[in-house]
Each structure stands twice: as C-alpha cells, then as structure tokens.
Structure 1
Amino acid sequence: MLVARSIALFVVAALFEIGGAWLVWQGVRKHRGWPWIGAGVIALGLYGFVATLQPDAHFGRILAAYGGIFVAGSMAWGMVADGYRPDRYDVFGAVVCLSGMTVIMYAPRGD
C-alpha cells in the first residue's frame, strides 16, 4: 500500500509540475498572457507541496527518483497536449529513467 501511495503522489506531482510548466510556456511562448502564467506558477507551487507528502523522509532520494517520472510524464504530456511523437530513443530513455526511479525509491534497504 505504501508503494501505491508513493506512485500516486509521484503522478499527482508530475501533473502539477509538468502542467504548471506547460501553462507558463503557453502564457509566454504562445502569448496567452498572465492568467496562464499565474495558473502555471500556482500549479508549480502545488507540485512542491505534493512532493513533501512522500512517505520516504530523504529529500534527495525523492527528487532524484521523481526525475524518472518527470521524464516519462513530460513525453506523455507532449503527446497528449502538443501531438509530440517520441521516437524509439525517447521511449528507451524514458524506460531507463523509470527503471532508475524504481531502483532509487523501492529497492529493499536496511535503513
């Protein structure tokens, strides 16, 4: 149950961070204005809060592991929101990142 909660928190954090960055991108690069930028900043702040809810107490471990979720989630977001189509190297790289995340977060430890 702890692993499922942790994964769910990673997914929620990714939605806030990637979504927030996308909103800022839209506001600035696509000239959609300050409301989009403001919504993005709020979402990015919520990402930071959600990350603190992880059951593991080690900041470095959480953020390092989250990197794998961020890479794969960013590609998925790009596919859905912008029509991006990853090539096989993108997919392979995302799988490597997710594998690393799994080892960092969920490997059995004695601590």
Structure 2
Amino acid sequence: MKSLLIYPLAALAEIGGCFAFWAWLKLDRSPFWLAPGVVCLIAFAGLLTLVPSDAAGRAFAAYGGVYICASLVWMAVVEKTTPDRWDLIGGLVCLVGAGIILFGPRA
C-alpha cells in the first residue's frame, strides 16, 4: 500500500522535472528552470527507491502505468489539453497492467 502514495509523488516529480527541461528547450523559458527541474528528477529517483519490491525492474515497470496516467492528468491540468477517449482507455489499460505487476501473487 505504501506504493500507492510513492508512485504518484514520483510521477509528479518526474513530470515536473522533465517539463522544466521542455520549457527551457521548447518554450524558450529561462535556463533557471533547470535548477528546480534537476531537484525534481533527483526526488523522483529517490522516491522510487522507497517502493517495497524485491526487484528494481518490477518497481519501475509498475511505475510506468502510474506515470502514463499522471502524464494525462498533467496534460489536462497544466497544458489545458483534454485527453480524448483513446488517451483514457490507454491509461486505464496501463494502470491495470501496473496493478497486475505490483500486486500479483509471487511464489
């Protein structure tokens, strides 16, 4: 259950960090955007280490589904672009896959 809190926080940190670089390179924002971007990316990496998993790859794979859904929320809230039904269906499929990876029974 700890993962249900960590993954959304990690997604916010990763998307925020990547967006800082996007803003600098694609939106002609100041290079000062890079400092908080780097801090966010460091926080993202640190948060993923807190996920209770016996394998880093499994933790990262499950995170992928959460990241995709968080990206769609970012697109809607920050970029003011409404996800279409295919975005939402794809996000749901990814989230189900992440749940299977994260909560599936292990031997």
TM-score normalised by the shorter chain: which range applies? over 0.9
Q: Does 1:50 align with 2:85?
A: no
In 2, are the aligned partners of 1:65 and 1:105 still within 8 Å (CA)?
yes
Unaligned runs of at least 5 residues, structure 1 = none
In structure 2, the partner of 1:66 is 63
State TM-score, norm by structure 2.
Answer: 0.95
Q: Does 1:35 align with 2:32?
A: yes
State TM-score, norm by structure 1.
Answer: 0.92
Could you say what secondary structure the match of 1:47 adopts? helix
Unaligned runs of at least 5 residues, structure 2 = none
Number of positions where the alignment pairs a residue of Structure 1 with one of Structure 2: 107
Cα distance in structure 1, aligned partners of 2:42 and 2:54: 20
CA-based RMSD: 0.9
Residue type matched to 2:40 in 1?
A
In structure 2, the partner of 1:93 is 90
Q: 2:81 aligns with which of 52, 69, 84?
A: 84
Identity of aligned pairs, percent?
36
Q: 2:7 aligns with which of 10, 27, 36?
A: 10
Q: 1:19 aligns with which of 16, 20, 34?
A: 16
